[in-house]
Structure 1
Amino acid sequence: MALVHSSIHKLGSIITRVNVRCFSTPVIKQQVKKVDEKNIKKSVFLSQSKDIYTNLALEDWLYKNFDFTNHHVLMLWKNDPCVVIGRHQNPWLEANIPELSHITDNGVKLARRNSGGGTVYHDPGNLNMTFFTAKEQYNRKYNLEVISRSIFREYGLKVEINPREDLVIREFKQVSGTAAKIGRPSAYHHCTLLVNANKVDLSQALHKQDVNIKTNATQSVKSKIMNLCEENPHINVDKLGTAVGWEFMRTTAITLQDGGMELANQQWGFHKVNPTEQWYPGISEIRDQLQGWEWCYGKTPKFTVSRSFAVPDRLTCSGPEDLKITLTVESGLIADVSLYVPPGLSSSGFAGEANVITHLKGQRFEEEVFNNLELSLGGLVNDRDKFVTECLKQVVTSV
């Protein structure tokens, strides 16, 4: 591998193409032993993809196939607009699902990552970083300190680490999101820095109406956010990526000592990596799984969603009362439908809780399930049938 000996800001001018055999052939993992940090080398990988599913697949491929005992890796990557939820989250609770395809010209993708934590928004104005180490060498605060030092060294901007281990400016405006996966023998910590992200698109993608969802899924904590360019307009993603990469290589692997450019030039440098099947056999299968509905939506923990609808006067003769609907969703599929039907809405006089719409069970929790739905409910006919059907559809489209 070619070493990089000069500090140049533009990523394109400092990157050498990584040797395929060296980095894309699976490495047999060995039992992790205590390692002298002087024997640990570092590399910075720069993904040439901007597709969220491809980058998550590359991350997973490296995690499963590399031995990081004596080789720590920082992967830098950017994505086209997307919402990325944690492994144990509910996408209908975290993202504005009905509007994602309309927010940008090419829409906003939704992805579920393998790590836990909360939801983040990515676009080309974010710098994404994944720090790979052996499990015994995992240290999230170490990684955040490297990032913080690089921003201060390059721009004189003080970014602090708060008690929740997020990067913040002036103790309250968050500029990062962070999560991790710790396994055996490898671990990784990834985070995203808001550099010049489109905050309008971010707000629309994550905006949620007030809906009554009950779930045990991990829920994101809302925070005040800001872009780093709001503090220093000279900051951009590529230049910051270069700064973080050099800071990573000049810092000792475990003890956070600054070894300067002398240490940095002993490392294995910056490398473009091409996340394709040719370079990483099996990565296409991983990507297909990460993009699939069964992973993005079907892995959602069980939840219930309830809504009430005022019945129009023309459909009832018993005075104002609401139609109440509760849907139970398991693995992204409708498991149960419960309706409370006001007495005046049913020509047969039926009222009360009823699990009646059995043909909805097992269907995906999505608007398309109602496109050709013919609803038969007790004595309801004509406009009343249509009203109930529309209410059911609104339960799905409102979350």
Structure 2
Amino acid sequence: MAQIMMRKIGLSGACVVVGITRRSSSRCLVTNSNKMSLKKKERELPSEADVTKSVFMSQSTDIFTNLALEDWMYRNMDFTNHHVMMVWRNEPCVVIGRHQNPWLEANISHLSEKEIALARRNSGGGTVYHDRGNLNITFFTPRERYDRKYNLELIKRALFRGFGIKSVINKRDDIVVRDNYKISGTAAKLGRLTAYHHCTLLVNANKADLSKALAKREHGIQTKATESTRSPVANLADLDNKITVEGLQTAVGYEYLRTPALNIEDGGQDLIMKQRGFQFINPTEDWFPGLSELREELQTWDWCYGRTPVFTVSRTFPVPAELLAPTRIYAASQELVINMTVEKGLISDVTLHIPPGLVESGFHGEASVITHLKGKRFTSEALNALQDAMLTRHLSSNDKKLDEREQFVAKCFDQVVNTV
């Protein structure tokens, strides 16, 4: 049995148990062998009255740690008799869905410049921006009792009960206010035995930073990856400036504890006292063995970028007149066309269309450029390879710099890969 330090606090006349838990209770964990035996026969789930609830509050604000904690709980905990709602916050970051293209969804160069993390989660859905003004909520249940509508209705009730805010759940399962302003997006992961549904709630997030991090730009990308649906957003603090993340966390937590496990009803104070209450969770290797390995995997380039579905990029760049052969007049516009295919984040194919005016003015070497680019990451690594390829033409001369035409081509490639 886990060792738990318990204390009781009073809030709004209610008495709630708050625990700091070291390791998860043996009642919550299920071994792989137990899971295998459960797969062989249909599970008998307990009645609603026999299900207890907890609110886990992560003490980390690191996106990779919190995603790893989510994954650890999904893989290792048994929610048959014990449903859990986890609340968590992050430092500024962008989180994309499992099947999305980061170069299409986020302003990668801006994230790199501002040292804002980009993370890929295990669930589907669209891209979101997180900061400390954003509350994240994850609902864990057995697969058979996954109920997204239940969770969203619970949040909707908490907003009204706690702050008098009226909201609507739209057809896309977003929570919106004032007709169409989105305050919450949603995604889920359903396994054989366990499921989780998670969503965000914008409280007082920096909307200017959000806009810059997710800014759309010219990219020329064609892909079958899941694309986000852009929506106007609002902070809950825009509706009531007294709302804080901490206050919202408490309001949603109490609503969760006072609501029966399977039905949207109000169990009131009596039901709250039967639950396991709020528990601070410290997501470390000591508490959750194997967590560090999960976190390291989620932070790798191969996961965040290399898991991107295959895509192609096609960009066209007009060649400045001063770079063309001065003695010729061209009937057609002179344009450099760059086409690439990217698989697992690596450039697998490249074609260049070099206009006659650029060739006649002295630019050569596209064959070596293509050879050097294949197999490189679709990042500044490709740009560096391009520059190295063009510099090989200068090895026999005293001029070790790119000329104006080569600099133009390099600049165009820089815009294509957008330098991570």
Q: Same fold (TM over 0.5)?
A: yes
Partner residue in 1 for 2:320? 312
The answer to whether the 8 Å contact 1:298/1:333 transfers is yes
Partner residue in 2 for 1:34? 45
2:389 corresponds to 1:375: yes
How far apart, CA to CA, are the structure 2 residues paired with 1:210 and 1:24?
53
Alignment of 1:90-109 (within 5 A): 90-103=101-114, 107-109=115-117
Deviations 1:206-239 (A, max 9, x none): 0021221100000000001100010011110011
Q: 1:131 aligns with which of 107, 128, 139?
A: 139
Q: CA deviation at 1:326?
A: 1.0
2:29 corresponds to 1:15: no
Partner residue in 2 for 1:223? 231
Alignment of 1:42-61 (within 5 A): 42-61=53-72
Q: TM-score, normalised by structure 1?
A: 0.92
Alignment of 1:62-73 (within 5 A): 62-73=73-84
Q: CA deviation at 1:378?
A: 12
How far apart, CA to CA, are the structure 1 residues paired with 2:227 and 2:318?
30
Q: Higher mean Cα deviation, 312-321 or 144-153?
A: 312-321
Alignment of 1:180-195 (within 5 A): 180-195=188-203
Partner SS state of residue 371, structure 1:
helix
Larger radius of gyration: 2
Q: CA deviation at 1:15?
A: 3.1
Unpaired runs of 5+ residues, structure 2, are 395-401
Q: 1:84 aligns with which of 86, 95, 98?
A: 95
The answer to whether the 8 Å contact 1:250/1:263 transfers is yes
Q: 1:327 to 1:282 in 2, by over 3 A?
A: same
How far apart, CA to CA, are the structure 2 residues paired with 1:302 and 1:97?
18
Q: Higher mean Cα deviation, 135-144 or 341-350?
A: 341-350
Q: TM-score, normalised by structure 2?
A: 0.87
Deviations 1:102-153 (A, max 9, x none): 44xxx31100000000000100001100000000000001000111111111
Partner residue in 1 for 2:210? 202
Q: 1:174 to 1:355 in 2, by over 3 A?
A: farther
- Matched letter for residue 383 of structure 2: F
Q: Higher mean Cα deviation, 93-102 or 219-228?
A: 93-102
How far apart, CA to CA, are the structure 2 residues paired with 1:187 and 1:366?
35
Q: Higher mean Cα deviation, 226-235 or 356-365?
A: 356-365
Partner SS state of residue 261, structure 1:
helix
- Matched letter for residue 288 of structure 1: E
Q: 1:124 to 1:83 in 2, by over 3 A?
A: same
How far apart, CA to CA, are the structure 1 residues paired with 2:142 and 2:257?
17
Unpaired runs of 5+ residues, structure 1, are none
Partner SS state of residue 207, structure 1:
coil
Q: 1:335 aligns with which of 339, 348, 351?
A: 348
The answer to whether the 8 Å contact 1:24/1:280 transfers is no
Deviations 1:284-318 (A, max 9, x none): 00000001100000000111111111112232235
Over aligned residues, Cα RMSD in angstroms?
2.6
How far apart, CA to CA, are the structure 1 residues paired with 2:135 and 2:358?
55
Q: Percent identity?
A: 54
Q: 1:235 to 1:348 in 2, by over 3 A?
A: closer
Q: 1:355 to 1:147 in 2, by over 3 A?
A: farther
- Matched letter for residue 114 of structure 1: N
Q: CA deviation at 1:379?
A: 9.8
Q: How many residues align?
A: 392
Q: CA deviation at 1:367?
A: 1.5
Deviations 1:68-97 (A, max 9, x none): 111100000000000000000000000010
- Matched letter for residue 121 of structure 1: Y
Q: 1:68 to 1:4 in 2, by over 3 A?
A: farther
Partner SS state of residue 395, structure 1:
helix
The answer to whether the 8 Å contact 1:4/1:269 transfers is no
Partner residue in 1 for 2:358? 345
How far apart, CA to CA, are the structure 2 residues paired with 1:134 and 1:144?
17
Alignment of 1:128-167 (within 5 A): 128-167=136-175
- Matched letter for residue 360 of structure 1: L
Q: 1:238 to 1:24 in 2, by over 3 A?
A: farther
The answer to whether the 8 Å contact 1:159/1:167 transfers is yes
Q: CA deviation at 1:7?
A: 5.1
Q: 1:397 to 1:198 in 2, by over 3 A?
A: same
The answer to whether the 8 Å contact 1:79/1:124 transfers is yes
Q: 2:302 aligns with which of 294, 300, 304?
A: 294
Partner residue in 2 for 1:212? 220
The answer to whether the 8 Å contact 1:93/1:213 transfers is yes
